[in-house]
Amino acid sequence: MRLGLFGGTFDPVHLGHLRAAESARLELGLDRVLLVPAAQPPHRASAVSSALDRYTMAALACAGSAAFVASDLEMRRDGPSYTIDTVATLQAERPSDQLVLLLGSDAFAELGSWRDAELLCQRVEVAVVSRPGVAVLPGLCDLLQGGRGVSVVKGPGVDVSSTTIRALVRDGGSIRYLVSDSVEDYIQKRGLYR
């Protein structure tokens, strides 16, 4: 199975995330895409909402697609959520699967600062999904030269960010058509981001 691994804070997961995952699934021939909310994001301040809330929103967002699955893998581990650890766990659990790490162009630009980035690039195929307003750097960075290569996924993007969604909720604005209906309902019922 070709398995896409799409991690992030997902605070909250939004239609831009889902569109990126769908573009990657189609262009790269992925059988399934795992959305993996980081329990403790190592590259940014703590998430605004809990890991359980973020996982639940990812599960709600994935509910309408057999190809998308929310994973609690990083929630089951203590400490910071390093992608190399997630990859090692998945490769041990699913040795016959081909893992494709899906990154937004903004995350790809920071890849050199990730824990064991060179090893990560050797263990998985990397695919960069273009994000509206963020250019994908041409060519391969030195770090990836020993890796399995980088694919650039094009496709329509949705220009939205989790930061914008949180601000809209805080200010009493509408987030309809920026997140799935089920995620919007969950945010309202739980009183998140107020």
The angle at the Cα of 187, spanning 184 to 189, to the nearest 5 degrees, equals 105
Among 104, 8, 18, 9, which Cα is nearest to 48's? Answer: 9
Burial label for 65, CB within 10 Å (0-12, 13-18, 19+), is: middle
Architecture of domain 2-158: 3-Layer(aba) Sandwich (3.40)
Distances (CA, A) of 150 to 29, 105, 125, 194: 15, 12, 7, 39
Residues in the chain, overall count: 194
Q: What is the pTM of this model?
A: 0.91
Per-domain residue ranges of the chain: 2-158
User: pLDDT digit string (tens) for 10-59?
Assistant: 999 999 999 999 999 999 999 999 999 999 988 777 789 999 999 999 99
pLDDT category at 140 given cuts 50, 70, 90 is very low
CA pair distance 19, 111, nearest whole angstrom: 22
